């Protein structure tokens, strides 16, 4: 390929020591663009340099973060065994005392319902059922959750007697109509004998959802306990609570009467699950 002479420039390189000269022929247009090439190369070098610097800086930051996490993990590793070790010795006693306190609370709930309760020593058997590899702290945590659930369920489950008189004058289910012995009548609750004015106590924590006249029930109180359970107290002479009021187990909520569809002073007591009456006998005592 022929090159026009005017398009080519000759660059002469002189070596000072060896007194040699070299000549290179470069196309003139390249020589004219030489400065641009140098500038472009410089830009590339600057970009590469910046990128490398940035990446190195990121790595340094990551290393610092990793170092910080490792330090935190090391601290945890140091603190965990120390805590567990302590739980297995000195503080274990305080944990057991806490458990005993909660069992006492359950006993109190049961006593308020007129039930006998239970000996706290018997719960020691539960410890044997625990996996032996669990530390004292882990066993305590498992016991604690279990007891919290029992306390909540017990407090909001109607148990025991709503009335100091435990003499039943009528059972749950079909019976002869007290107003007409020739007819059978479905009795959705149980009746306790008593005198007008006797105290009526609620059988679990809950919220009053009805306090007033309720057809054949006369003066009536209905209490919602959560867990799908509700209790109903009928034929009262006096109502001592209001709708929306929160009540605790053992609170006096009203008095025995003979209002509504009633032949004499008594307390009509119902336990309802999902709105449907169930036999309250099963809630008067604890059965296995
Ligand atoms: Zn009744």
Query: DSSP per residue over 175-214, as a string?
Result: EEETTEEEEEEEE-SEEEE--TT-EEE-SSSEEEEEEEE-
Domain total in the chain: 3
Q: Is residue 218 part of a domain?
A: yes
Angle of CA points 100, 282, 226, to nearest 5°: 65
41 CB-near residues (< 8 Å, 6+ apart):
none
The pTM (predicted TM-score) of the whole model is: 0.58
CB 109 within 8 A of CB 155: yes
Q: Is residue 74 part of a domain?
A: no
Query: 233 CA distance to ligand 1 centroid (A)?
Result: 9
Query: 185 CA distance to ligand 1 centroid (A)?
Result: 11
Same domain, yes or no: 194 and 103: no
**CA–CA gap between residue 77 and residue 48 (Å, rounded):** 43
* H or E stretch at 118: none
Q: Is residue 201 part of a domain?
A: yes
**CA–CA gap between residue 139 and residue 68 (Å, rounded):** 33
Query: 261 CA distance to ligand 1 centroid (A)?
Result: 9
Residue at which a domain ends, from 124, 155, 186 = 155
Q: Is residue 143 part of a domain?
A: yes
Same domain, yes or no: 206 and 245: yes
Q: Which domain holds residue 279?
A: 168-284
DSSP 87-99: HTTTTHHHHHHHH
Query: 267 CA distance to ligand 1 centroid (A)?
Result: 7
Q: Is residue 250 part of a domain?
A: yes
pLDDT category of residue 94 using cuts at 50, 70 and 90: confident
CB 154 within 8 A of CB 142: no
Same domain, yes or no: 111 and 218: no
Same domain, yes or no: 146 and 173: no
Same domain, yes or no: 109 and 208: no
Give the pLDDT confidence score for residue 112 in this predicted structure. 67
Three-class SS state of 271: strand
Q: Is residue 80 part of a domain?
A: no
Whether residue 270 has pLDDT greater than 50: yes
Q: What is the mean pLDDT of residues 40-51?
A: 62
Same domain, yes or no: 181 and 105: no
Protein residues placing their CB within 5 Å of the ion ligand 1:
191, 268
Note the pLDDT tens digit of each residue in 61-88.
556 655 665 565 555 544 445 555 555 5
Q: Is residue 131 part of a domain?
A: yes
Nearest to 231 by CA among 222, 239, 240: 222
- Would you tell me how many other CB atoms lie within 10 Å of the CB of residue 135? 14
Query: 234 CA distance to ligand 1 centroid (A)?
Result: 8
Query: 40 CA distance to ligand 1 centroid (A)?
Result: 101
Same domain, yes or no: 27 and 97: no
Q: Using the Cα atoms of residue 79, residue 83, residue 84 and residue 89 in order, give the sign of their dihedral.
A: positive
Residue at which a domain ends, from 155, 184, 205 = 155
Nearest to 257 by CA among 224, 223, 225, 214: 214
Same domain, yes or no: 175 and 262: yes
Q: Using the Cα atoms of residue 58, residue 64, residue 69 and residue 70 in order, give the sign of their dihedral.
A: positive
Note the pLDDT tens digit of each residue in 159-190.
888 988 778 999 999 887 777 777 788 999 99
Same domain, yes or no: 104 and 25: no
Same domain, yes or no: 182 and 143: no
Same domain, yes or no: 200 and 266: yes
Whether residue 230 has pLDDT greater than 90: yes
Q: Is residue 147 part of a domain?
A: yes
Question: Is 287 or 258 the better-scoring residue by pLDDT?
Answer: 258
DSSP 203-257: SSSEEEEEEEE-GGG-EEEEEEEETTEEEEEEEESEE---TT-EE-TT-EEEE-B
- 192 bridge partner residues: 168, 267
Same domain, yes or no: 265 and 179: yes
Query: 110 CA distance to ligand 1 centroid (A)?
Result: 25
Residue 233: give its domain's CATH number: 2.70.70.10
């Amino acid at each position: 390929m022929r090159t026009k002479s005017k398009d080519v420039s000759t660059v002469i390189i002189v070596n000072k020591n060896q007194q040699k000269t070299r000549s290179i022929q470069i196309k003139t247009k390249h020589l004219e663009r030489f400065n641009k090439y140098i500038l472009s190369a410089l830009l590339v070098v600057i970009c590469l340099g910046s990128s490398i610097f940035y990446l190195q800086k990121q790595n340094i930051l990551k290393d610092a973060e990793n170092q910080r996490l490792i330090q935190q993990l090391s601290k945890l590793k140091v603190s965990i065994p120390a805590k567990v070790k302590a739980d297995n010795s000195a503080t274990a006693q305080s944990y057991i005392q806490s458990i005993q306190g909660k069992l006492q609370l359950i006993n109190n709930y049961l006593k308020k319902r007129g039930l006998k309760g239970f000996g706290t020593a018997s719960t020691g058997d539960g410890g044997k059922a625990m996996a032996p590899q669990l530390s004292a702290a882990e066993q305590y945590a498992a016991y604690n959750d279990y007891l919290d659930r029992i306390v909540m369920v017990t407090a909001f489950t109607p148990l025991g007697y709503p009335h100091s008189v435990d003499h039943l004058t009528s059972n749950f289910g079909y019976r002869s109509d007290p107003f007409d012995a020739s007819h059978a009548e479905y009795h959705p609750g149980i009746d306790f004998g008593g005198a007008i004015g006797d105290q009526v106590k609620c059988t679990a924590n809950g919220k009053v959802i009805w306090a007033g006249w309720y057809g054949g029930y006369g003066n009536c109180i209905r209490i919602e306990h959560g867990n799908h359970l509700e209790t109903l107290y009928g034929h009262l002479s006096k109502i001592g609570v209001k709708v929306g009021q929160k009540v605790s187990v053992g609170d006096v909520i009203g008095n025995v009467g003979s209002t509504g569809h009633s032949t004499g002073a008594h307390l009509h007591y119902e336990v309802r699950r999902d709105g449907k009456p169930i036999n309250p006998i099963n809630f008067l005592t604890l059965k296995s």
